[in-house]
Amino acid sequence: MSLAACRPTDNARMIEEANAALERTSSARVGTVAPGSPEEEAALARFADLVSDMSPERTAGLVPSVYADSVWFHDTLKQVTGAEALAEYFLHSLGGAEAVTATILDVARSGDEVYVRWQMDITYKSLADGKRTTTTGISHLRFDREGKITFHQDHWDSTAGFFQYVPVVGRLIGYVKGRL
């Protein structure tokens, strides 16, 4: 498998694809775990375990137990469809970091939608002078009846969590933010 399945998206296309993924992953089509059930608690625990230590091989290896085969995933940097492509994306993207960990701060539910608020700490290999960076975000998740994630869309400030540390781009972002 190549990284061709992992592609950057423009905003209009991403919204269209997210809406289509929401339709495909509705509980009427794929089922869901009952709110507050032991199955939902187990699904959330698997997600928390996955993000607690996001070393590339560990994370990619956990994908089959956390994500459905047909998962739709978007983390503001890439949109990926399918568990196999997601595992490959994790191997590739997490390889640029010394360490990535996330702590779950809060979980909220609205109907079939689950919102997980988290804090992520990243130590990049060649960015941010090797210092630990911290960002917060929310993952919008949907689970199927087996408790696997079918829809995962992250909402976080990728300029603060990643792009500000990229040479030249980071200075440009700082300049633009300073002018607002």
Per-residue pLDDT at 86: 97
Question: 29, exposed or middle or buried, with CB in 10 Å at 0-12, 13-18, 19+?
Answer: exposed
CATH number at residue 31: 3.10.450.50
Question: Of residues 79 and 9, which shows the higher confidence score?
Answer: 79
Residue 91 contacts residue 56 (beta carbons within 8 Å): yes
Token pair of 46, please?
A: 């698997």
Q: Give yes or no for residue 139 having a pLDDT over 60.
A: yes
Q: What is the pLDDT of residue 171?
A: 54
The count of domains in the chain is 1
* Dihedral pair phi/psi, residue 139, rounded to 5°: -105, 125
Ranges 34-48, 51-65, 86-100: which has the least confidence: 86-100
Phi/psi for 94 (5° steps) reads -75, -15
Q: Give tens-digit pLDDT for 78-119.
A: 899 999 999 999 999 888 788 899 999 999 999 999 999 999
pTM given for the model = 0.82
Domain containing residue 76: 3-179
Per-residue pLDDT, 156: 80
**Dist CA 147 CA 32 (whole Å):** 7
pLDDT of residue 163: 47
